[in-house]
């Protein structure tokens, strides 16, 4: 089994490298190879490895979703952009529904859960305010964001206490639900003194949302959050050079 996880790590590393080089088709291929290996192993796993396999699958689907998101956002062809953003949503949604959500795997994470909602919003901005627009689960986007917020808050009290990724996810939920100012929403995140690459990841989620056609107050908060996080990143990056 260790050989399997080493192979998966190798494939995921190749996927990330290709993604960063904007070789998105190759990146998606490597991520899918990792998923195929893991799903084959999950058919009849050692009980001790079941949760580990599911955790890796959730992470691999999240990686695939991120690849398709970047690929879509980089496209000038609106049809291809829409299709790739929809593929991004599908990958995150699969990672959440098949692995993160299921109690048997005991995965304490919000990676796919929140990104599936962000992904849906990217190709369907009207979903944030239109109660008639439902994501595939039959709930409105706001209802799903509220549920995600409750789940993340509970995780922060228990198994993800102090987890900077959970703190960042919670901040984004607060912004999208128009509950707090950027400074208030990201206060705990900034206080946690995350590494610069964490700031980069947060910005990669915020920037495309800040240019969507959403309500003015939401857009203002998203743009304010981008400015805030960019400013904090500029302050810490010279120290890391």
Residues 4-33 pLDDT 10s: 999 999 999 999 999 999 999 999 999 999
Q: Is position 128 within any domain?
A: no
Residues 94 and 169 in one domain: no
Residues 84 and 138 in one domain: no
Q: Is position 10 within any domain?
A: yes
Mean of per-residue pLDDT scores for the chain = 93
Of residues 228, 224, 151, the one with CA closest to residue 189: 228
Residue 71 CB-density burial (10 A; 0-12 exposed, 13-18 middle, 19+ buried): buried
**Termini Cα distance of the chain:** 38
Q: What is the pLDDT of residue 110?
A: 96
What residues pair up with 70 in beta bridges, in sequence order?
A: none
Q: What is the pLDDT of residue 56?
A: 97
Residue that the structure tokens 């400013």 belong to: 231
Residues 185 and 88 in one domain: no
Residues 158 and 201 in one domain: yes
Domain that holds residue 3: 1-109
Asked whether residue 116 carries a pLDDT value surpassing 60, the answer given is yes
Residues 171 and 224 in one domain: yes
Q: Is position 115 within any domain?
A: no
Q: Is position 66 within any domain?
A: yes
Confidence of residue 46 (pLDDT cuts 50, 70, 90): confident
Residue that the structure tokens 């900034």 belong to: 190
Query: What's the gap between Cα 148 and its chain centre?
Result: 12
Q: Please work out, in degrees rounded to the nearest 5, the angle formed at the alpha carbon of residue 108 by the alpha carbons of 104 and 111.
A: 115
Q: Is position 122 within any domain?
A: no
Residues 81 and 155 in one domain: no
pLDDT tens-digit readout, 168-193? 999 999 999 999 999 999 999 999 99
Q: Is position 13 within any domain?
A: yes
8 A C-beta contact, residue 27 and residue 15:
yes
Q: Which of the listed residues 75, 109, 143 is the one where a domain comes to its end? A: 109
**High-pLDDT (> 90) share of the chain, %:** 85
State the total domains in the chain: 2
User: What mean pLDDT is predicted for residues 99-121?
Assistant: 94
Q: Which of the listed residues 59, 76, 109 is the one where a domain comes to its end? A: 109
Residues 104 and 153 in one domain: no
Confidence of residue 133 (pLDDT cuts 50, 70, 90): low
Confidence of residue 132 (pLDDT cuts 50, 70, 90): low
Q: Is position 21 within any domain?
A: yes
Q: What is the pLDDT of residue 138?
A: 73
Residues 140 and 186 in one domain: yes
Confidence of residue 60 (pLDDT cuts 50, 70, 90): very high
Q: Is position 125 within any domain?
A: no
Q: What is the pLDDT of residue 239?
A: 52
**Alpha-carbon gap, residue 185 to 173, rounded angstroms:** 9
pLDDT tens-digit readout, 190-234? 999 999 999 999 999 999 999 999 999 999 999 999 999 999 999
Q: What is the pLDDT of residue 129?
A: 86
Residues 103 and 150 in one domain: no
Q: What is the pLDDT of residue 238?
A: 64
Confidence of residue 236 (pLDDT cuts 50, 70, 90): confident
Asked whether residue 241 carries a pLDDT value surpassing 60, the answer given is no
Q: What is the pLDDT of residue 134?
A: 62
């Amino acid at each position: 089994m260790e050989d399997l996880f080493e192979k998966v790590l190798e494939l995921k590393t190749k996927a990330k490298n290709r993604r960063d080089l904007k070789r998105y088709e190759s990146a998606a291929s490597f991520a899918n190879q990792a998923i195929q290996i893991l799903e084959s192993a999950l058919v009849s796993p050692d009980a001790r490895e079941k949760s580990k396999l599911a955790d890796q699958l959730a992470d691999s689907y999240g990686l695939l979703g991120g690849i398709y998101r970047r690929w879509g956002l980089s496209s000038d062809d609106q049809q291809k952009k829409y299709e790739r953003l929809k593929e991004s949503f599908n990958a995150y949604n699969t990672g959440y529904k098949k692995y993160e959500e299921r109690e048997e795997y005991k995965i304490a994470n919000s990676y796919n859960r929140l990104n599936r909602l962000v992904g849906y919003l990217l190709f369907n901005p009207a979903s944030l305010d239109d109660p008639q627009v439902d994501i595939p689960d039959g709930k409105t986007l706001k209802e799903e964001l509220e549920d995600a917020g409750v789940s993340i808050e509970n995780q922060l009290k228990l198994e993800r206490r102090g987890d900077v990724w959970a703190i960042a996810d919670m901040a984004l939920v607060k912004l999208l639900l128009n509950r707090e100012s950027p400074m208030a929403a990201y206060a705990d995140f900034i206080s946690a003194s995350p590494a610069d690459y964490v700031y980069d990841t947060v910005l990669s989620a915020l920037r495309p949302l800040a240019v969507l056609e959403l309500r003015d107050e939401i857009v203002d908060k998203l743009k304010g959050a981008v400015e805030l996080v960019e400013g904090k990143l500029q302050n810490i990056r010279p120290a890391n050079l």
